[in-house]
Structure 1
């Protein structure tokens, strides 16, 4: 396949690029190196891939429809994987207009470029945040997802609806993948596991919002990449799929697992709950298993151990 991958230099995107190239695909990476976190990290993410004969990288913004159209046409792409986004619930509360512009208008720009070039295969990243504070646990893809708690959640749900519109009007094959807190090597620095690990090694307090009872379904990067890869191979019609880990973990338990891997006790700075945060995410994976054969394989203890080992060798020793 010839795959246009937006957000190719990010955490998930760089891992996916590496995997797709290893499977023999041609990848056209597309990323604008925005400043939501240090762009140097993104350059490092893909630097070792830039000499691969089947990889081409283009630096630009997904809101540039003309550029996307030219890229799809020039490289004769047959599939698009759309990961580029303005990420994070708290950042979206601070900058809602930017979040919605990138995530909604950027997705529309991509869909229009695909329509104009007759590319009809799309796998795109959504988020577990679309479920809000659903009382139905675990979260199923056919649950109501119309009460978002943050601009980020709203933008991701809006992108899903846009994709469905293009499926209906123009015959796109679409899989919207609802990711559940992805972690592992190269994870974004503002995310809890990265931040906690950094603070513990530095002997600094970690900030916990709430009483530590909130729970998340954490998904190791390998499992997420397998979910995306399987979705590409089984792409047909329109689908919403949860791509999550094997179960929900309380924040207080997560801290304990990281403490054990790091070998240090955390000093905790307790703060009130943050606006837009949900209390629980929990993935029902039956549909993903039935449709694409997805099952997570990395348990949280093993995943944290791998992440901390990578952090120790790559970040602390750099």
Structure 2
């Protein structure tokens, strides 16, 4: 049985990925810090559900604690590591920047050290669409230069990409970085827009809509996202022997077994259309509080997913209205509203 170490297994995406891997016959070793960035009870419930499968084990620890992480990795000896744990949240990085350096830079370095020592088959690490920053040419393509990050969160993720490339080159460590585009769905984080909008609408409280609603996002349903990650596990990049081996449009490095892949729905949706879809599912209108653009935010994101499709044969496909329907149904059930 192949074994995968998933960091951030009690998190939104890590939970869904762990579920999928278990369903497909993998053993999953979960590692999570259980920080109080948001309601720890939600994280604990996710782990409780995963622990119903005998092939899942849960371990609590901080990425910054190399000894703890290394001891677990050496004891379990996973074939693959999927590194999802991070200090998340674009806006929180304005309030507590140090948390991002410690978790996202030091923590990711520790994960890479474990992967190097174990010489694992494939290291997959989460990046973000936020690395595209002030880029304006859309849809965003993996071959674009990304030098204009707008927040420290995005900057730490761009640093992770560079760190990953260096380790892939130096240690011949097959590494795939995936850039997520606005992931949403059941069991989502309370700090994310869909959660806040749904909660506000159902409780009759106002919701904050930035840039007066003139924003667009490539909304990616979580089950589509984790399916893409699952398929990427099976296609570790291989260091090319010459530049001619790199197919046009592939982000494969010419000097390392390293690749960057966008995971998005491949479409952009206006924020106000998204809000209206939530209103329909909730059966009531929102009390809207229109605000200017928030510091560090960008007006639009939109993924080119051609490379993902070429490598895996898969393209995320869940429309935002169906995804919102699934989320609101989960929210009402979980919170009794």
Q: Is TM-score (shorter-chain normalized) higher than 0.5?
A: yes
Instruction: Kindly provide the CA deviation profile for residues 39-88 of structure 1, in whole angstroms up to 9, marking residues without a partner as x.
Output: 11100112122132111111001111122221121112111000000001
Q: How many residues align?
A: 317
Q: For the Cα contact (< 8 Å) 2:216–2:299, is it kept in 1? A: yes
Q: For the Cα contact (< 8 Å) 1:127–1:177, is it kept in 2? A: yes
Does residue 263 of structure 1 match 2:283? yes
- C-alpha deviation, 1:120, in angstroms: 4.5
Partner residue, 2:173: 172
Q: For the Cα contact (< 8 Å) 1:216–1:249, is it kept in 2? A: yes
C-alpha separation between the residues in 2 aligned to 1:98 and 1:189? 19
Q: For the Cα contact (< 8 Å) 1:133–1:279, is it kept in 2? A: no
SS at match of 1:226: helix
SS at match of 2:213: coil
Does residue 304 of structure 1 match 2:324? yes
Partner residue, 1:154: 155
Question: What does residue range 196-211 of structure 1 map to in structure 2 within 5 Å?
Answer: 196-211=197-212
Does residue 38 of structure 1 match 2:39? yes
Partner residue, 1:27: 28
Listed as ranges, the gaps of 5+ residues in structure 1 are none
C-alpha separation between the residues in 2 aligned to 1:76 and 1:87? 27
Partner residue, 1:315: 335
Q: For the Cα contact (< 8 Å) 1:130–1:156, is it kept in 2? A: yes
Instruction: Kindly provide the CA deviation profile for residues 221-242 of structure 1, in whole angstroms up to 9, marking residues without a partner as x.
Output: 1100111101101122211000
TM-score, normalized by length of structure 1? Answer: 0.97
Does residue 242 of structure 1 match 2:243? no
C-alpha separation between the residues in 2 aligned to 1:271 and 1:135? 22
Moved more, 93-102 or 147-156: 93-102
C-alpha separation between the residues in 1 aligned to 2:50 and 2:309? 31
Q: For the Cα contact (< 8 Å) 1:4–1:29, is it kept in 2? A: yes
- C-alpha deviation, 1:89, in angstroms: 0.8
Listed as ranges, the gaps of 5+ residues in structure 2 are 238-256
Q: For the Cα contact (< 8 Å) 1:180–1:281, is it kept in 2? A: yes
Partner residue, 1:272: 292
Question: What does residue range 1-318 of structure 1 map to in structure 2 within 5 Å?
Answer: 1-236=2-237, 237-316=257-336
TM-score, normalized by length of structure 2? Answer: 0.92
Partner residue, 2:246: none
- C-alpha deviation, 1:290, in angstroms: 0.7
C-alpha separation between the residues in 2 aligned to 1:154 and 1:292? 28
Structure 1 segments of 4+ aligned residues over 4 angstroms from their partners: none
- Give the CA RMSD over aligned residues: 1.1
Instruction: Kindly provide the CA deviation profile for residues 108-162 of structure 1, in whole angstroms up to 9, marking residues without a partner as x.
Output: 0111122223225211111000001211110000011111000000011100110
Q: For the Cα contact (< 8 Å) 1:246–1:299, is it kept in 2? A: no
Q: For the Cα contact (< 8 Å) 2:266–2:304, is it kept in 1? A: no
